[in-house]
Amino acid sequence: MSENGVKDLTIIGGGPTGLFGLFYAGVRGLDAQLVEAMDELGGALAALYAEKFVYDMAGFPAILAKNLVAAMYEQANQWQYPVHLSQKILDFDEDDGIYVLRAQSGEEFRSKSVLIANGNGAFAPRKLRLAGVEPFEDKQIFYTVKNMDLFRDKRVLVIGGGDSALDWALALDEVAKMVTLIHRLPVWQAHEATVKLVFESNVDVHFPRHEAQELHVSDGKLTGVTIVNLSSKETFDLDVDVILICVGFLMDTTVIRKWGVELEGRKGIKVDPATMVTSRPGVYAAGDIAAYEGKINLIACGASEAAMAVNQAVRYINPDARLAPGHSSDMDIFAKRD
């Protein structure tokens, strides 16, 4: 239990990794809290991909991102731990063995250990380097889909070659008049199964090495795009109503650098993959923000990393505690609920 407002564990980030970490903290009997910079839980899943299906989360053949967030919050909330929204952590230091996290609002959160699970930190979509894009952003050019109806019966161009681009192309193929997908690289960054589904769908795929060269505008509206084959230099014009750009996000580590943890270049926070501990004792990182050799950025992997970090935090707080908790089906804390 907390003493003088000091929690056993404070989790920074309310995305799926942070939510699973909050749930698992309850499994291990830690007194925990979660701090999220945005005004809602879910991280990028809620802010950017609410209407997108997630296909690679254990237990779900396919689930809408917003529904996955709701389920993970329900799982975590059974312990009724405090969740603090709109609290952007600017820095934290150590005071007599206790970490003091200071938020932009002026609030302070005191904790014996910390789990950093804030995804890509402050993220922003990579912009398309093409003249004339800005006037159409959030009107006819988008970086995510928040409302599928905006694409209904439209001619849609999807730009990108990762899982996000291909997943959106498949989803929009169900509602749009026409979906065209282009990718400028010679290889896909998506899962093989997803690539196969795209080629089996009605999506018009132009790959490899195709990119948008010029926007067509008429009467103040975007009407089309010139596409260039970077290998042959041949071009063709494509009529479009909407463009969806899925070429990744930029990680802003400006704030994280003030937290005193070692970074692995631009990849994120350097951790020991066996313990998820950072360069600061009692401070762990999990999910997309954690960096180590062989890292795989999947929601399922983030959940595993969060569980590993929580177990290590238990041992950090109480060196005599068991590192391995056993199976949840054998735990009294779950049996008492029946």
Query: Average pLDDT of 190-216?
Result: 96
Domain around 133: 127-245
User: Do 118 and 170 fall within a single domain?
Assistant: no
Write down which residue in 245, 278, 311 finishes a domain: 245
- Is 70 exceeded by the pLDDT of residue 205? yes
Packed helices 299-317 and 16-27: angle between N→C axes, nearest 10 degrees = 40
Task: Please give the backbone phi and psi of residue 27, each rounded to the nearest 5 degrees, phi first.
Answer: -60, -40
Q: How confident is the model at residue 242 (pLDDT cuts 50, 70, 90)?
A: very high
- Is 90 exceeded by the pLDDT of residue 332? no
pTM: 0.78
Predicted pLDDT at 229: 97
- Among 66, 176, 153, 203, smallest CA distance to 194 is for 203
Place of tokens 């029946």: 338
Q: Strand, helix or coil at 182?
A: strand
- Partnered with residue 152 across adjacent β-strands are none
Predicted pLDDT at 192: 94
CA distance 208 to 173: 20
Summarize pLDDT for 119-150 with one digit per residue, the tens.
876 566 788 889 999 999 999 999 988 889 99
- Is residue 62 in some structural domain? yes
Predicted pLDDT at 140: 97
Query: Which CATH number characterizes residue 10's domain?
Result: 3.50.50.60
In contact, 123 and 44? CB cutoff 8 Å:
yes
Tokens of 175: 């509602």
Write down which residue in 189, 212, 245 finishes a domain: 245
- Is 90 exceeded by the pLDDT of residue 112? yes
User: Do 17 and 85 fall within a single domain?
Assistant: yes
Write down which residue in 211, 245, 279 finishes a domain: 245
Kindly report the number of other CB atoms within 10 A of residue 62's CB atom: 9
